[in-house]
Copies of this chain bind each other. A is one copy, B any other.
Amino acid sequence: MVESDAVPKIVARDERRTPQTSGDAVIDEVVASGRDVMRKARVTPADVGAAGCSAPGPLDHMTGVVSQTQNIVGFTNMPIAARVGDGLGVKVFLDRDTCMAAIAESLIGAAKGAKDFVYITVSTGVGGAIVTRGRLVRGASNTAGELGHWPVNFQLDASRDAGDDIPRCKCGSFGCVEAFAAGANLAEQFGAQRAGDVYDAAARGDTRARALVTRAERALANLAVGITNALNPSLIVVGGSITEHQPAHVLDPMRAAIAQRAFRAPAAAVRVVPAALGADVGMHGAVLEARERASGRGDWFL
């Protein structure tokens, strides 16, 4: 149940670079940003019923603590909901960015009405969230859905280590979908600033760029086939900036692989569709989740 299926209206925004110095510095900046955005919107903490905070995971949305994350310095066992809530003087609900995106896509986006769907983002990183029987899969300690860290490759040559020549992932593992297909990893492997440069170079015929793009597509193809066979969703909703700018390198290889390689029954049941909510999906999801949780609703995603 949800109060309204209207897209939340964004009345003010404030964007900042993530500090690279310490976890405390990140928290301070988030709090300062929250204060600024309240000032812009001409509201006080007393006017704010609840705030939603989206963060990379793994994290526990019930305790509000991020367990670890490779993309933000110092976020190890960091009680974000409590720290940001104290700083702003408002009640803060934390959740993983991909869970909030899945909630938004489910309520007001591409997954409306779907009971069994998977949300994937291909962006700076690769992440996911799983919904079955109309409920978000949370798992035994609330970290389920980290589909970007499903390993899709290993070294075949038994005389070498399983991770030799396989891209290392910032999570500490190797062969993860993220290690191949995330924007940050593609850029780094090519020695470029942005993933877009790699795709541009590949389009111009650069051999090394094409090889990296092909590997990224193969990793996403394996992910798509695995999700289809393992979870039998009716939808795979794919968001993130790489998906938005390079659909032919994300959606197309996923669709082709499912058609060619997945079992027939789950392949016939699934559609791979782009996310509907674009770059603001995280903000929409955060607002919707905070509203539902503050109102005692939202059982389906808790």
Contact = CB atoms under 8 A, between A and B. Distances in A.
Interface string A150-166: 11111110110010011
Contacts of A151: 152, 221-222, 225-226, 261
Contacts of A231: 130, 137, 139, 144
Contacts of A138: 132-133, 232
Nearest to A225: B151
A143 B174 contact: no
A230 B139 CA distance: 9
A260 to B, nearest CB: 8
Contact of A230 (B132, B144, B156, B269): B144
A151 B226 CA distance: 6
A271 to B, nearest CB: 10
Contact of A158 (B155, B214, B232, B262): B214
A232 B140 contact: yes
B173 A270 contact: no
A153 B165 CA distance: 13
A182 B219 CA distance: 22
Interface string A247-291: 000000000000011111110111000000000000000000000
Which of A130, A138, A158, A211 has the most B CB atoms < 10 Å from its CB?
A: A158
26 contacts: A68-B264, A68-B265, A116-B144, A132-B139, A139-B266, A140-B232, A140-B234, A140-B269, A141-B265, A144-B230, A144-B232, A144-B266, A147-B229, A149-B225, A149-B226, A149-B230, A151-B222, A151-B225, A151-B261, A152-B154, A153-B154, A154-B218, A154-B219, A162-B218, A173-B260, A173-B261
